[in-house]
């Protein structure tokens, strides 16, 4: 895949205190090449009295900024219920979350300018360490930690989920808030941890599955790894 491709990806962002999120909708996922123009659509169902539409841009970790019509952007309000933002000649600084507002914010469209080829993650699960197992020996409610490591992927559009014995688990799960990037290779890595009962881990029939959900520009691909419990010595 061409490393100059650009992803525009829906990121469900919402701000407490505004109206129903379904009242404002934005562009679905699509892909463009760098230096091309990106056209983002915004529609609402609030009625003709909501005839003012604004566009905002938010870089990761930064506050939102209002987008004004200038050389880089073209903003058109085609009707009371429809607006279009065009980002002209895409470049790396255009990596951001784009939101339209009609008295409240829409879903947001995340724009990523690729600097490397799209690469699936490698996923492995690390079992509890012998040190942790020994430290839990005298505790009644013994809990052991499994770590899922996803590495070598690009870009960073991933989420992680766990299953124990085929049943999805959300409790006792802790996942990194965001993937970290190797500045040399440009590849990302992320880890997730789950606490399980020692009785489950000591049962060889128990299964522990980590799934990394990765967006490849066209669809989400699930990359999984599974390990079984290990009988205690």
Q: What percent of the chain has pLDDT over 70?
A: 83
Distance between CA atoms of residues 85 and 22, nearest Å: 20
- pLDDT tens by residue, 202-226: 999 999 999 999 998 888 999 999 9
Distance between CA atoms of residues 102 and 2, nearest Å: 36
Q: What is the 3-state secondary structure (H, E, C) of 192-208?
A: EEEEEEHHHHCCCCCEE
Segment 82-108 shows an average pLDDT of: 82
Q: What is the pLDDT of residue 224?
A: 98
Q: What is the pLDDT of residue 16?
A: 30
Most confident of 102-106, 140-144, 151-155: 151-155
- For residue 177, what are the CA distances in angstroms to 1, 54, 153? 28, 29, 16
Q: What is the pLDDT of residue 113?
A: 78
Q: What is the pLDDT of residue 193?
A: 98
Q: How confident is the model at residue 232 (pLDDT cuts 50, 70, 90)?
A: low
CB atoms under 10 Å from CB of 114, counted, come to: 22
Are 42 and 100 in contact by the 8 Å Cβ rule? The answer is yes
Mean pLDDT of the chain: 83
Q: What is the pLDDT of residue 213?
A: 97
Q: How confident is the model at residue 31 (pLDDT cuts 50, 70, 90)?
A: low
146 vs 46 pLDDT, higher one: 146
Taking the alpha carbons at both ends of the chain, their separation in whole angstroms is 49
Any residues with CB less than 8 A from the CB of 130 and at least 6 apart, and which?
none
Distance between CA atoms of residues 137 and 126, nearest Å: 20
**Confidence check: pLDDT of 148 > 60:** yes
Task: Provide DSSP, 140-152.
Answer: SS-EEEEEEEEEE
Distance between CA atoms of residues 32 and 133, nearest Å: 50
pTM of the predicted protein model? 0.62
Distance between CA atoms of residues 133 and 196, nearest Å: 12
Q: What is the pLDDT of residue 46?
A: 78
Helix then strand then coil, in percent of the chain rounded to 5, is 5, 50, 45
Give me the domains of the chain, ranges plus CATH numbers: 5-113 (2.60.40.10), 122-228 (2.60.40.10)
Closest CA to 68 of 78, 58, 52, 56: 56
Of the given ranges (27-31, 84-88, 120-124, 210-214), which has the lowest mean pLDDT?
27-31
């Amino acid at each position: 895949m061409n490393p100059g491709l650009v992803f525009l990806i829906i990121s469900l962002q919402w701000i407490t205190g505004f109206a129903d999120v379904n009242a404002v909708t934005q562009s679905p996922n699509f892909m463009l090449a760098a230096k091309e123009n990106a056209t983002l659509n915004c529609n609402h169902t609030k009625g003709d009295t909501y005839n003012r539409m604004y566009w905002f841009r938010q870089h990761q970790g930064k506050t939102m900024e209002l987008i004004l019509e200038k050389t880089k952007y073209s903003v058109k309000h085609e009707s009371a219920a429809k607006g279009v933002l065009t980002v002209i000649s895409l470049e790396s600084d255009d990596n951001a979350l784009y939101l339209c507002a009609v008295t409240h914010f829409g879903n947001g469209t995340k724009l990523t300018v690729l600097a490397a080829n799209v690469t699936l993650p490698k996923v492995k699960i690390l079992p509890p360490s012998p040190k942790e197992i020994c430290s839990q020996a005298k505790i009644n409610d013994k809990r052991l930690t499994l770590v899922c490591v996803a590495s070598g992927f690009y870009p960073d559009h991933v989420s992680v989920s766990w299953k124990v014995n085929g049943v999805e688990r959300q409790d006792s799960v802790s996942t990194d808030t965001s993937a970290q990037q190797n500045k040399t290779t440009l590849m990302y890595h992320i880890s997730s941890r789950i606490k399980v009962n020692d009785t489950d881990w000591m049962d060889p029939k128990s299964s522990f599955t980590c799934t990394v959900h990765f967006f490849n520009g066209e669809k989400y691909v699930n990359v999984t790894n599974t390990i079984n419990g290990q009988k205690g010595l």
